[in-house]
Amino acid sequence: MNFCAHLDYQRVDALLNKTYEVVAAKGDTDLLRKAERAWIAFRDAECTYQTIGEEGGSLHSLEYSDCLTRLTRQRIQQLRTGGNE
């Protein structure tokens, strides 16, 4: 299950990278790069926070990967809609 969850995240992360490239080609890449760096820091901290109760347990990796996948999907939608969801 952990392996599948991680693979799912990797697929979504690859889609995020492609989406980012499309959006970057349309506008201010410096500003977008700053936003993405801040978003990645937020995503990682948020997933750490959301899974703190599972830390050290067998479900932690699964829950963490699921969180990364969920937030990354949300970010893809934000980038595609320009933040107007």
Tens-digit pLDDT profile for residues 3-20: 899 999 999 999 999 999
CATH number of the domain residue 65 falls in: 1.20.1270.180
Scan for tokens 């809609």, then name that residue.
Answer: 81
Mean pLDDT of 67-85: 90
**So what's the pLDDT on residue 69?**
97
**So what's the pLDDT on residue 58?**
83
Number of domains observed in the structure of the chain: 1
| Structural domain for 73, as ranges | 2-81
**So what's the pLDDT on residue 84?**
63
For residue range 25-73, list pLDDT tens digits in order: 998 799 999 999 999 999 999 999 999 988 888 889 999 999 999 999 9
Q: Among 26, 11, 30, which residue's Cα sits nearest to residue 76?
A: 11
